Amino acid sequence: MPSPRRIQTNEATVVTALVFLFAPMVLTWPTMASGLSFTDALFETISAVTTTGLSVTASVADKPAIFLFSRAWMQWVGGLGIVILFVATMIRPGLAAKRIGDLEDYEEDLVGSTRAHARRVIIVYSILTGFGIIVLGLLGAGWFDSLIYSLSAVST
């Protein structure tokens, strides 16, 4: 079996663009379950995935908890995707990237470098989110509110 070829930068860019286009389309249907029209649900999901934070609902507080969680989760994942995309485009394989990441098992190809940096971003992202949940929860916000606030805050 032939070894897989390396992914090219233009291919990765197209895949990323398609994910940012199609993810909101797929996530629109569950969002509609909270009573929003297709157009409003699509706007909500695009806003969440791109982490703009805009909303077409008059009051988000009266929405069901599942709507609030899914919206915050989409923001968190969208923000994570944007950060990883930034890291992937800004850090190229080479000596400078090796020094920035200080990776002992550094691979010289773009995919390996991106994977290593993406892992670090996910770890930092998760630690910040967990820290926010704990601090807000201990300061008196409800645990569910702490989760929603932390997911939304870290995404931006």
* Residue-averaged pLDDT of the chain: 81
Measured CA to CA, the distance from residue 118 to residue 100 in angstroms comes to: 13
Q: Is the pLDDT of residue 86 over 70?
A: yes
Query: So what's the pLDDT on residue 103?
Result: 47
Q: Which range has the top average pLDDT, 13-17, 57-61, 65-69? A: 65-69
Q: Calculate the dihedral angle through the C-alpha atoms of 73, 74, 77, 79, rounding to the nearest 10 degrees.
A: -110
What is the percent of the chain where pLDDT is above 90? 29
Measured CA to CA, the distance from residue 48 to residue 128 in angstroms comes to: 19
Measured CA to CA, the distance from residue 74 to residue 131 in angstroms comes to: 19
Query: So what's the pLDDT on residue 109?
Result: 53
Q: Can you tell me the mean pLDDT for 76-93?
A: 79
What is the percent of the chain where pLDDT is above 70? 79
Query: pLDDT tens for residues 23-33?
Result: 888 889 888 88
Angle at the Cα of 10 from the Cα atoms of 7 and 11, rounded to 5 degrees? 45
The alpha carbons of the chain give a radius of gyration, in whole angstroms, of 18
User: Pick the residue with more confidence: 123 or 116?
Assistant: 123
Query: So what's the pLDDT on residue 151?
Result: 94
- The predicted model scores a pTM of 0.75
Query: So what's the pLDDT on residue 19?
Result: 83
Query: So what's the pLDDT on residue 137?
Result: 96
